[in-house]
Structure 1
Amino acid sequence: MVLQRNIKIPVWGNASPGRQVKIDFDGKTYKTITDKPGKWKIYIDEHNLPCPYQMKVYSDSNSVTFNDILIGEVWICGGQSNMEWAVLQSNNSQQEISNAKYSNIRLCKIDRLISEKPVNDIKTEWKECSPETVEQFSAVGYFFGRDLYNDINVPIGLIESVWGGTPIEAWTSREVLEKMQEFSGTMKKNKASARKYYSDMAEYEQLYQQWQTQGAKELPPKTIKDPRHRWPSVLFNGMIYPIIPYAFRGVIWYQGEGNAGRACQYKKLFPALIKDWRTRWGIDDFPFLFVQLASFRNPSPVPVENEWAELREAQIDTLSLPNTGMALAIDIGEANSIHPKNKQDVGKRLCLIALEKVYGKKVISNGLMYNNMQVNDNKVILSFDHIYDGLKFKDDRLLGFSIAGVDKKFKWAQAEIKDNKIVVWSDEIKNPVAVRYSWESNPNGNLYNSADLPACPFRTDNFKLSTFSKQ
């Protein structure tokens, strides 16, 4: 186990009402009385020395002792399948696994649990990072934690709470979702999905009972797909709520594929999740770092509206919340796989953000971000933030830009670097009004800053998006 350093550490549980509970930790005894429902919580004083501790929690009828506790930095690793993607499935997996001998990195996996109501208790355990324990752990989480440990040299605790194929609303509390007008249509669809699922299951159970009583040779095929992990709030209830108020430093998050068809709605859902988690933990503006969707699918031959590009924009917009950071993965995806195997660079880029924003290290963590545009005759001049020592591109020419006139029809554009700005034009567009960059599922954009971090996809226009009204 790893407990968060430099913060009062909450320890909580259940016992009989009115019973005294005590904790012995680092030579000091803490005590409290359980409330009427039998709940109790004790805060242990702040600690910052990593050396192993023992914690004894006891009452007059029960006692539990935890050994080999470290004090360090704790991060929650959340999201869907790209956060769930294991070290075993990643690039260079066998060497990564054999090298994963870090006694001061501890791993904790939250078991999958669907619940329509908040759950108080779950069973889990902490394990020392080793070749045996790391192979099925989140690759992004591990590579992030490993790089962080190698830099700051304090114990690292990683809590993995993930489920592939899940939308963000599954990880968001019902109280928040029910207040969102933008989500009302989705709530209705999910209620209809629930009715159908339970009706189909009841019908199947009836067939199953008939099969049992009639002695038929073949069991009726079960063709019902279980959609419950995608329902609103069920994973928040079963896999996030039970670990509140465990103290931690921040969250790393990789999710969004499950919401791409409702990208404009995600502009509301994603910030709502972050705000809600911060409120429930009572840790003001804890760091929330996330990964922008990687490139995926075959490139489009012509500029088109694109749901994945719109979802990436929703992720960019979420950076308006304080203490957030976004790792770019636009250049490390795979056309034929929604699960790119290069999780090392994803973890590295998340770690760079944490080092700069959270731990005050002098590192470069940001890719290029669009700032503003100017029109000069038939050309558009683009300015960027996070240039550092200059702009550059890979291959023999700049790619990934499209340009449009007042008709809003985008054409592929030519581009060049001039005075650390990008000049964009097309002979087909005489009076340009808008430029887009890497605006598709799998763009070929190749613009970078001097730190070899890619330019973030962007658009200069505010044209109505294809997912505007989708719920």
Structure 2
Amino acid sequence: MKAFSSNVIFDFNRSGKPLAFVSLLLISLSVNAKIWLPSILSDHMVLQQNSNVTLWGWTTQTAETISISTSWSDSVYTTKAYQGKWALSIPTPEAGGPFNISIKGHETITLKDILIGEVWFCSGQSNMEWSPLKGLDNAENEIKAADYPKIRFFSVRKKKAEYKQDDAEGLWELCTPETMKDFSSVAYFFGRELNTKLDIPIGLINSSWGGTPVEVWMEKQTVASNSDLKKAAQQIKDYVWWPNDPGVTYNSMVYPFLNFTIAGTIWYQGESNRDIADSYYKSFPLLIETWRDAWKKDFPFYFVQIAPFKYGDSKTNREAAFVRDAQLNTLKTVSNTGMAVTNDIGDLTNIHPTNKQDVGKRLALWALAKTYGVKGIDYSGPLYSDYEIYGNKILVSFDHVEKLMTKQRHISCFEIAGEDKVFYPAKAKIKGNKVQVWAKEVPNPVAVRFGFTNEALPSLFDESGLPASAFRTDNW
């Protein structure tokens, strides 16, 4: 007699000894049978409230039936694995918890201490990655006070990959002084502001890598199919400390989370694109568009306008200014975006300014006002709107302000130019919510720039103290 198992043929003799061998083989297969989940689905996680969230995973039983039940509902949801992979969408209630989730197949997995709230994906380069231990104002007291059990952290391990990955290494943790000190400061202060103002659980996924240009966070094909971006990517300087090839962190640090429902994204990046700033006018909006397409959701995207810094390798002292201008242009042309301006809290000697409290808070102001509908919040500083020429003067108008103010004796960082495109330092005078600009060297002005150098430290604010963004009226 012959038996078939795992494509192996066994001959049985009358003593029955091979039968014992087959039994051991079947027992071994049973012991090795397994259901497993991506790292983002684990104890202590936060799921997006009032949503249909996806739970997914794998099984060694290729066509197994998987059932899911939750402690917030009496419903049971089922699906069948296809070639060992399964996914299931389940509804979530309003913010609350803790809850449990049970996932059953040939074995049972129970996820515990699950909160329902708001989940934000936090990404970019080093200023997003920077933790309190690496440099933060009042770090000792901030770390001691970081006891927020309804804020949860997930730190994505740095990894690059040539191909899209199904999973990424990471672990959900409660916000404690011990976990906060190694987590993104900007993400923490953003999350803390939402948690305290909205009184709901907050999940923060930190997927960032210092030094990385925007192209590594985009799908490789997106860059390759655009001739301008492809050419710009070839000019990116090569460093051993961080990846520079298009797509390699998207594959390993973004793609694995596309099934995970998020409320939105916060982003702090741009310094590494200053040498190819012209392309940032295309690449940054395209990053937002392609991420939204990949997540299948038009989520809010709030970002930080990079801070002033004295770059030692600068040739024109304007490279970073064009990155800031590209960021301002993105704010004005891409819907559902917001920009935190930082030109008043930069540090010309430190590319990682240690005032991350205000950065996180300013991002949160956008979220509170625009995503969560909190009334009475001044969420944006003055943004350039328009200009008019009056003889030898230009009058500049702003949005998001009723009355401008300065913290200096004289308003600085304005420049003015004529048809020759040569800019001269200008004098400026506040007139309500407008600024009058002029320079004796330019009798017939045609263009104005404000804060348009790498290291400009302007002083122009609205009544609440939020700074005006750098801008230019020209397209030279």
Offset of residue 175 of structure 1: 2.4
Change (3 A) 1:331 1:186: same
Out of 224, 237, 245, the position equivalent to 1:178 is 224
> What secondary structure sits across from 1:424 in the alignment?
strand
* Partner of residue 318, structure 1: 330
Aligned to 1:434: 447
Q: After alignment, is 438-447 or 137-146 more displaced?
A: 438-447
* Residue 273 of structure 1, aligned match among 283, 287, 290: 287
Q: Distance in 2 between matches of 1:232 and 1:11?
A: 29
Residue 114 of structure 1 deviates from its aligned partner by 0.9
- Aligned CA-pair RMSD: 1.8
Match of 1:381 in 2: 395
Whether 1:124 aligns to 2:174 is: no
Q: For the residues of structure 2 that align with 1:414 and 1:460, how far apart are their CA atoms?
A: 17
1:379-407 Cα distance to aligned partner (Å, 9 max, x none): 1111111113x111111111110111111
How far apart, CA to CA, are the structure 1 residues paired with 2:461 and 2:242? Answer: 41
The equivalent of 2:79 in structure 1 is 32
Tell me which residue corresponds to 1:282: 296
Q: Give the Å deviation of 1:318.
A: 1.2
> Which position in structure 2 is the counterpart of 1:418?
431
- Given that residues 114 and 228 in structure 1 are in contact (C-alpha distance below 8 angstroms), is that contact kept between their aligned partners in structure 2? no
Q: Secondary structure at the match of 1:252?
A: strand
Q: CA deviation at 1:188?
A: 5.0
Mapped partners of 1:318, 1:226: distance in 2: 30
How far apart are the structure 2 equivalents of 1:441 and 1:49?
43
CA distance in 1, matches of 2:142, 2:454: 29
Paired residue secondary structure (1:447): coil
**1:418 to partner: Cα distance:** 1.9
Tell me: CA distance 1:164–1:188, structure 2 relative to 1, closer, same or farther (3 Å): closer
1:56-71 matched pairs, under 5 angstroms: 56-60=102-106, 62-71=107-116
Pair 1:17 & 2:62 matched: yes
Give the letter aligned to residue 161 of structure 1. Answer: S
* Structure number, greater radius of gyration: 2
Deviations 1:273-325 (A, max 9, x none): 11111111111x101000000111179xxx96611000001111111111110
2:120 equivalent in structure 1: 75
Residues 213 and 270, structure 2, Cα contact 8 Å, conserved in 1 = yes
Could you tell me which residue of structure 2 aligns to residue 236 of structure 1?
Answer: 250
Q: Partners in 2 of 1:187 and 1:409 — Cα distance?
A: 30
Equivalent residue number for residue 210 of structure 1: none
Q: Confirm whether residue 247 of structure 1 aligns to residue 261 of structure 2.
A: yes
1:287-436 equivalences in 2 (<5 Å): 287-297=300-310, 306-319=318-331, 320-362=333-375, 363-388=377-402, 390-436=403-449
Query: Whose RCO is larger (CA < 8 A, sep 6+)?
Result: 1
Give the AA of the match of 1:359: Y
The DSSP-based 3-state class of the residue aligned with 2:464 is coil
> In 2 relative to 1, CA 169–449 (structure 1 residues): closer, same or farther, beyond 3 Å?
same
Larger displacement relative to structure 2 (338-347 or 310-319): 310-319
1:457 aligns with 2:461: no
User: Paired residues, what number?
Assistant: 424
Q: C-alpha offsets along residues 422-454 of structure 1, whole Å, 9 cap, x if unaligned?
A: 111111111111110000111131111111111
Counterpart of 1:395, as a letter, is Q
In structure 1, the gaps of 5 or more residues are: 194-224, 464-471
Q: Identify the range of structure 1 (241-250 vs 339-348) with the bigger mean alpha-carbon deviation.
A: 241-250
Q: 2:145 matched to 1:99?
A: yes
- Is the 2:128–2:208 Cα contact (8 Å) retained in structure 1? yes
Distance 1:129 1:326, change over 3 A: same
Give 3-state SS (helix, strand or coil) of 2:216's partner. Answer: helix
2:7 corresponding residue in structure 1: none
- 1:121 Cα deviation (Å)? 1.8
Residues 461/189 of structure 1: CA separation in 2 closer, same or farther (3 Å cut): closer
The whole-number CA distance in structure 1 between the counterparts of 2:317 and 2:128 is 27
Q: Is the 8 A contact 2:68 2:78 kept in 1?
A: yes
Q: 1:403 to 1:396 in 2, by over 3 A?
A: same
Distance 1:420 1:458 in 2: 16
Whether the 8 Å contact between 1:86 and 1:136 is mirrored in structure 2 is yes
Measured after TM superposition, the shift of residue 461 of structure 1 is 1.0
What one-letter code is carried by the residue in structure 1 that aligns with 2:67?
K
Q: Is the 8 A contact 1:352 1:365 kept in 2?
A: yes
Q: Within 1, Cα distance between the matches of 2:120 and 2:433? A: 37
Give the corresponding residue for 1:45: 91
Larger mean Cα displacement after TM superposition, 173-182 or 131-140:
173-182
1:84 alignment counterpart: 129
SS at match of 1:340: coil
C-alpha displacement of 1:155: 0.4
Match of 1:222 in 2: none
CA drift at 1:189: 5.8
Secondary structure of the structure 2 residue equivalent to 1:170: helix
* Partner SS for 2:122: strand
Q: For 1:342 and 1:450, locate their aligned partners in 2 and report how far apart those are by CA, in whole Å.
A: 21
> Closer, same or farther in 2 for the Cα pair 1:404/1:49, shift >3 Å?
closer
| Range moving further from structure 2, 42-51 or 362-371 | 42-51
> Which residue type is aligned with residue 462 of structure 1?
N
Distance 1:245 1:327 in 2: 28
CA distance in 1, matches of 2:436, 2:233: 45
Show structure 2 runs of 5+ residues with no match: 1-44
TM-superposed deviation, 1:86: 0.2
Q: How many angstroms apart in 2 are the aligned matches of 1:328 and 1:87?
A: 21
- Matched letter for residue 64 of structure 2: R
Contact residue 114 and residue 238 of structure 1 kept, 8 A: yes
* Partner Cα distance (1:79, 1:152) in 2: 25
- Aligned partners of 2:471 and 2:258: how far apart in 1? 36
- What letter matches 1:109 in structure 2? S
TM-score, normalised to structure 1's length?
0.87
SS across alignment from 1:229: coil
